Every structure is written in C-alpha cells, then in structure tokens.
Chains A and B, each alone.
Chain A
Amino acid sequence: MATSTTKALAGGEPPRPSPRSGGGDTPRRRGALWHRLDIKGAPYAFVAPFFIIFAAFSFYPLIYTSWISLHDVELATLDVMEWVAFDNYVELWGDSRFWNALQNTITIGVISTVPQLMMALGMAHLLNYRMRASLFFRVASLVPYATSVAAAALVFTMIFERDFGMINWALGSVGIDPVNWESDKWPAQIAISTIVIWRWTGYNALLYLAAMQAIPADRYEAASLDGASRWQQFIHVTVPGIRSTIVFTIVLSTIGATQLFGEPLIFGQGPNGVTGGADNQYQTLGLLLYEEGWKNYQMGRSATVAWAMFMLLVLVFVVQRVVKRLRSRTS
C-alpha cells in the first residue's frame, strides 16, 4: 500500500552557467547549444533515475491506492470494482476500530519513542567519553538495529509469554503475580514498545554521537571556565549543539511509529496478531490496514486506511509547520 513517505532530498539548485552572448556562425552556435544542453540538461539526467523509480514504485501506487479506496473491491476479484465514491472514508470515520487503532498507534508511539530517544541521548553522551574499547560499544549498540524485526519480535514474544516466559518467571521469583502480557491492554502495549525501543535506541544513539562529535571542544572549555558542571554542560552545550539531529530523529521516529506493523503482528501471532489482540487492545493503524486487506480481503477499505494514515502524516507535518511559523513570529 502506498504509505511511503519518501522525500525527494534534492540538493540546492545547480550552479547557473554564466549567460553568454550569442555566437557568430553555425557550427559555433551548434557547439554552444550542446554546451548549454550539457550544462542545463545533465543535472536533470543525473537525478532522473531517482524520480523514475519514485514514480513507478511510490507515486503510481499512491495514486492507484487512492483510486481503489473509492471502490468496493475484493482481493480475489480485483478486476471487479464497484464505484462507491467516498463511502469507504465515511464508514472509516464512523468506525470505532479506526479510532481505537489510532489511539493505540499514538499511545504505543509515545511509550516507545519518548524513552527510546531519552535513552539514546544518554547512551550517546556516555559513548562520547574517552574510554576503552569504545569502538566495541559503538558497534554493539548498532547490533539490535541490524537484527530482523521478525527475529527480535519472536524472541521477545517468548520472553513475554504468560505461562512459561522469562519475565513472568522473574516476577514470580520475587513474589509478583504473573502479568498477562498479551491479553491485557497496557502490558501488551508496553511489551511491543520494548521491542521497538530495543531495536532503535542504539541507532539513534549513534546519530546523536556523530552530531556530538561535531561540537567544537572550545565550547566545553569555555563552559567549564565559566564554572559549568558536567550536567550543565550537557544541558547548555551538548543539547543545543545537536538540536537539528534531535528534530531529525523525532521526525523519523514519528513516521516509524505511525507505520508500526511488524512488531505487533508477530507479537500477537496468528489471528490475534492480525487483529491486534482479541480485544484489538494493541491493533495499530498498520494492522487495521492488514486486517482489512488480508483477513477480510476488502482492498477498497484497506486502501482507505492507507490513505488515512498518509493524510495523518501530512496533517502532523502541516501542524508542525504552522506552530513553527507562529513561534518564530512571536520571538
């Protein structure tokens, strides 16, 4: 489904060739034409592959998905499409499952993103110290990121298992009653967040670390001359120094959280994975899309969820821009 949010990161404008006054005779003029074509056209030729691939694998699916979302279509009979205009959207708006999934997406997003970025920041700070085997720790922090979602989620599912899982065993050994990690709402959401946090903290920490190392050392010197403690240095020098990276990771994590799918699907296993628990207690928007498309085989409704997710991201983006504009105006 077309929910990809690839952004064309085209660089700045190509340097303009200095305008040259028209030449005299024909061969010279033709040479000048080639030259101009070379200078003006070549940049487009170089960036074209990206846009062609983008058009084929992102833009076309996006448009086709929107077309499907206006129809009643089943997976088995994709060629039979019944036009229903915006009925799917109206239905989705009135569907309690959608609001439930939206709420779950937000809560899981918050309880996975906030601790994740905080921990990443702390970890980056520690990794930034001079220490033995720093390369080892840096590589180690990236290992979870290199693990496949399926493998990680499966292992965590076993750890969080109700009757024979490791966590309940540990809780039991200190006299705490076993927690029903899958079927209770908050435990399930926390368990899923744990998988996300485990996978992404190291990655974000390395991004922060790279940004921290770009902060000039004399700022710290100046701060310590002014009598700033380590903690004050962290708050007043480090954090402002990597602000743009922090914003970048927040944007990435938000997009990731909106599209959260693999972890809850595998965590639930079988029918419960598809519906996000027997009570839909951890069904995210991604899972709702999957349920509509690959359990109910209703491609029209599935495409509608995809577009709703896309529009949510656009909405978040617009709100963020407006807030930024307003803030810069007041300051």
Chain B
Amino acid sequence: MGTLGSLRRRAVATAAAVGALALVVGCGGSDDSATGGGKKDGKVTITMGMYGVMGIKETGLLEQYEKENPNVDIKAEIAGDEQTYYTALQTRLAAGKGLKDIQGIEIGRAKEITETQADKFADFSKVEGTDHFLPWKESQISTKDGKVLGLGTDIGPMAVCYRKDYFEKAGLPTDREEVAKLWAGDWNKYVEVGRTFKKGFKDGDVAYMDAASGLFNAMVYGYPEQYYDENGELIYETNPAVKEAWNLSADAAEEGLTAKLRQFQPGWDPGLANGTFATAVCPAWMLSHISEKAGDANKGKWDVAKAPKGANWGGSFLGVVEQSPVKEEAKKLVAWLTAPEQQAHIFKEIGNIPSSRTALDSPEVKNAKSEYFSGAPIGQIFGAAAQEIPDKQVLGRKDGTIKDTFSQGLALIEQGDATREEAWKTTGERIEKAVG
C-alpha cells in the first residue's frame, strides 16, 4: 500500500480496510498517562507502536530485553499494514492522544515527520553509542537544525531474484555470477536479457518479470534525487532519472515482458506459487515473502543475482514521542534494539538487512547464505548492494503516494488502456492532485 517498505508488511490486504476504522476509532482509552507507558512501584512500562514485520517482536528481542532488565515491561502493538498505521499515527499526533512511547516510522514518511512533526519527537542526537549507522540512514530522519528523530532499523538494498530452471529453458546461463554479468551496470541490459528470454522460452506462458513497476522503482531509487529536489520542490517531471526509468519500464510493458501483476497484491502470490514469471527485482526484505509464497515446491529453483545498479527500497526507523513519561528509558530501549548485535540477530532470523555499518561488516551477516535461494550468499550480495546505495538520498513528503501513482500509470500501459504519453499525462495530473 502506501510506501515502499510497507509493501512487505501487508499481511492480509483486507485487514487494512477494516483495521483502519478499528485503529482510528480505538485510540485514546483509559490509560493513566498519555502514552500508556509510565513508572509505578519501581517498574517501568514502555509502549510501542509498529507495523508489518519489523522483526523486533517477531524475533524475540523484546523478551530478551525484559529478561535483561527485569524492571521493564514492554507492550508492543503491531498493525498489519503500514498505510493504516500511518493514518492512525497522524490522527494521534494531531490530537496528542493515543500515542505510544515508541513509534515506528517508515522511510516514505520520514520526510513528512521531520518537516511537520519534529517537535513531537524526542531528539537522539545526544544519545551515546549510536554512531554505527550508514551515514545516509541517519540523515533521512534528521531535521535541518540537526535534531535526530529516530534510529534506523533496516534498509532495502536490491538484487534480482530469478528462476534458474526457466533461465535454463530459455537458453540463458543459470550461475548467479554469469547472470549478474549479463546485465552488469545497466538496467537496459536487464530488459535486453528479457527480450532474449522471451524469444528463447518456448515452454508455456511465462513472463520475464512480474511487473513493470518493480523495474521502475529499482531504477528510480538508484539515484540520489527522485521526485523531489533538496529544497522540497517537485522535480519528477524534469528529472531525467524518472523519465529514463519510465521509458524503459514502458518498453518492457509494451513488449509484453511483464506478467502484468501488481506486487504484493492478489495474483502476485499465486504467480509466485505457480511460477508465472522468471525474475523479480527484489529488495532484501522481499526474500522472506518470496520463499513463503512460492513455497517448498519451488525451493532451490530460485536464485539471487546482483542487480545492475545499487538502490534502496524501503526501511524503517524507531522514534520516541516527546510527551512520553518514560522518554529516557524508551530512548535506551530504541538504542538497544537498533544496536549492531540486535540488527544482526534480526537479519539472521528473518533477513532484514541492517542499517548499521558495524552489523553489515559482522561475520554473521557477511557469511549468511540462503538455503531456499539455492544457497545464494545473500549477506554478500545485499551487503555489497548496500555499499552501492548513493550516499545522499533526498526524500520528499509525498514519496510513497507518488510512487504508487507511477505504478498505476505503468499498469495503464501494461493493460493496454493508454499509450505511454497518455499514461504519463494522467500520472502527472494525479500527482498534482495528490500533492494538493
């Protein structure tokens, strides 16, 4: 839904619609403090609001912290879908009620938070032992006057996931090194391989890639500036990076190289299970989704190769709200949760790539291999991809919405509803509306 990283986090699509109401309605309550956290009889209660699979609760880190700090009691609430979560968070920030001590912030929302809600979040710039993050990660959640509103959890470096068996049938190499060589350094080559694939693959109805929007995102996110420039001005119309990505994705759509699916939407999952496409541009966090949905039947058929260019798709932060009665304790918890050891732990358990440099360099991460993906050295592949991510990444307030709008524009071309010029024009009109 909303933003990039959130896509992985939608468990059930419908829960969004229904949950939205429940969340908006269900805020407030009869808590003693504004956030539900507080100190009582020497015991500290800290509340957390998160979304999707951030891996913090799922991998048992909260229990571990409670065990190490017996006086701390953590209550975590997790919304399935980030769009729903963020809508509720905005309402609560506006009302000053119903917030948790610790709130998750998705990368697509980071700019909006730093621009409009900075005074409602506590500052991390003076918290010690937090200098282990990738430099661009921290700058994304910092305000202009140097306030740091949160600490990073994961990032989304990208690679290309592909079906070895289909590549073989199409007469392409199957070894991940050789496959990576086919498209090294240029997304155009990735599409070129697709043309070869289409010609070579005679065995049934299999598309080269899942969706044109996946390619578009991968290309756009490889540049420091995407839809906004540093001054917060919209530049998507003139940004050559966007235009280039649009044109190549439109080529792929028009030439029938895509399965015309929508990532993370119905049709995509059965597509994975039944193998209706041969490649998907995959951020690290997508691997767990693919292995789950494609299932045991396809184990060992998938592999991971280096993407033509490094790019970042998704990632999150944890922030502490200013009005929390246990601000210092909450900050301490956040610092612990995002420390290198814990990030490496989450990576090992569910594959989210650490945003901590130290964790990325740790042997645990570097030597990790994925059994499902034919033993691919995912620690190395994604670690290297993380190094290639541009050091500066300019975020914009409506990044998530604009990305979704472009995806729909490409869908118009895929479905044959519009030519690429018409679709571009429609997309522009919709973005004008969306940014207000």
A interface with B by C-beta (< 8 Å)? 72, 74-79, 97, 150, 153-154, 157-158, 161-164, 180, 183-184, 262, 265-266, 269-273, 275, 278-279, 294-298, 301
Contact = CB atoms under 8 A, between A and B. Distances in A.
Contacts of B14: 150, 153-154, 266, 269
Given A163-B271, A279-B417, A296-B434, 17 more contacts: A76-B93, A76-B116, A78-B94, A78-B95, A163-B267, A163-B274, A164-B267, A183-B411, A270-B10, A270-B265, A271-B1, A271-B404, A272-B408, A272-B411, A278-B412, A279-B418, A296-B435
Contacts of B412: 278-279
A272 B16 CA distance: 13
Contacts of A164: 267, 270, 274
30 contacts: A72-B436, A75-B90, A76-B93, A76-B112, A77-B116, A78-B94, A78-B95, A158-B266, A162-B267, A163-B274, A183-B411, A265-B17, A269-B265, A269-B266, A270-B1, A270-B10, A270-B13, A270-B16, A271-B2, A272-B408, A272-B411, A275-B408, A278-B408, A278-B409, A279-B412, A279-B415, A294-B20, A296-B433, A296-B435, A296-B436
Chain B at the A interface: SS class: helix
A76 B267 contact: no
Interface residues of B, number: 42
B419 to A, nearest CB: 13
B12 to A, nearest CB: 8
B297 interface: no
Contacts of A183: 260, 411, 415, 417
Closest 8 pairs between A and B when the two form their complex, measured CB to CB: A278-B411, A278-B408, A271-B404, A164-B270, A183-B415, A269-B13, A78-B94, A76-B90
Contacts of A269: 13-14, 265-266
B316 interface: no
A310 B279 CA distance: 48
Contact of A298 (B90, B262, B417, B436): B436
Contact of B264 (A262, A265, A270): A270
Contacts of A158: 266
Contacts of B404: 271
Contact of A161 (B112, B266, B418, B434): B266
B407 interface: yes
Contacts of B91: 75
Contact of B267 (A154, A161, A262, A266): A161
Contacts of A278: 408-409, 411-412, 415, 417
Nearest to B12: A154
Interface in B16-38: 16-18, 20
Given A183-B411, A279-B417, A150 B17 contact: yes
A157 B266 contact: yes
Contacts of B196: none
B276 interface: yes
Contacts of B276: 163
B288 interface: no
B274 A262 contact: no
Interface string B84-98: 000100110111000
B433 A297 contact: no
Identify the interface centre among B91, B112, B270: most chain A CB within 10 Å of its CB: B270
Nearest to B403: A271
Contacts of B94: 75-79
A77 B93 CA distance: 9
A158 B13 CA distance: 12
B387 interface: no
A262 B17 contact: yes
Nearest to B113: A76
Nearest to A91: B433
B117 interface: yes
A86 B418 CA distance: 34
Contacts of B409: 278
A297 B83 CA distance: 12
Contacts of B415: 180, 183-184, 278-279
A202 B20 CA distance: 29
Nearest to A268: B265
A183 B2 CA distance: 20
B401 interface: yes
Contacts of A163: 267, 270-271, 274, 276
Nearest to A76: B90
